[in-house]
Each structure stands twice: as C-alpha cells, then as structure tokens.
Structure 1
Amino acid sequence: MQKIITDRIIYAIVEDVAVSTAISKICSFAASQTLTVIAIEGMLKKAGDASDRLKVKYPGLWYRLSTKGYDMLYFIFKNELNKIFLF
C-alpha cells in the first residue's frame, strides 16, 4: 500500500513539473513573440520616419526610391547616402 501511495505522489509531482515546464515554455515563447512584434513595429516606425525625412530633404531621390518600393529601406543606408550627397 505504501508503494502505491508513494507512486501516486511521485506521479503527481512529475505531472505538476511537466505542466509547469510546458506553461513556462509557452509563456517564454509568447513573450519572445511579443518582443519580436514590438521590435518589428519599431523598425517600421523608424523606416517610415526616415522615408518622410528623405521626402522632405531629397524629394527626387525619394521619388525614385518610392516608385520601386525602396524608400522604406533608406534608414538602413542613410549614413552612406548622406555622405554621397554631402561630399
């Protein structure tokens, strides 16, 4: 009888640990996904702001880039492009 009780207690503990581990992994995954979405939104905001500045500062370049859908990539190459235009 004692072995049955001990086995049941061990089973309950192992089951609880497994559930806790699963919940922990799910929460960790959800938090990671949330942070990824926030980071992407931040990059899109930064890209949009840089595109707006480009449109004001260099409208001709902005037009050429925007017709090809590249204006949102300007923030990646902003420093290099400014060196070219400001030399």
Structure 2
Amino acid sequence: MSDRTKLRILLIQQEFTTWRRARRWSYSVQLGLEEGLNANGIEFLTITTPWLSHARDICKDKHFDQVWLEIVHTNLDDR
C-alpha cells in the first residue's frame, strides 16, 4: 500500500494514573494494538489522555480517516 492510500488513524488511549484503575488494562494491551495497526500497514498517531488538551496542536495540519477511542468506565480526573 502506498503512503497516499494508507489508512490514517488517530488513536486516543486512556492512561490510568493509579494501579487500582489500571490493573485490568496493561500497557501490553495498548502496545499490542499499536503493533497490530503497524503490522497491517496502517499509519497512526497515538495520543494518551494526559495529552488530550494538546491534541489540537499535535494534530495541526494532519488529516485522519478514522478516530479510535479507548473508552472504559472510569473518570479521567482521579480527584
């Protein structure tokens, strides 16, 4: 697949701030998803939730065909 025809995905992944919240969702699961996308020739950009407030600047001048969100039942703010 040429670079011009590659599927482009913005991948937004939840980053947990405590072990209690993260214990069921290991980094190996998140890295495995990235490895799978890469192995299938998909161009992707990963942003973790602590960087969401900077997403507009990070993605400036970039275009994506799809946005993938990791959605779990937790608050983004641990307070």
Larger radius of gyration: 1
Q: TM-score by structure 1 length?
A: 0.24
Larger relative contact order (C-alpha < 8 A, sep ≥ 6)?
2
Greater strand share, structure number: 2
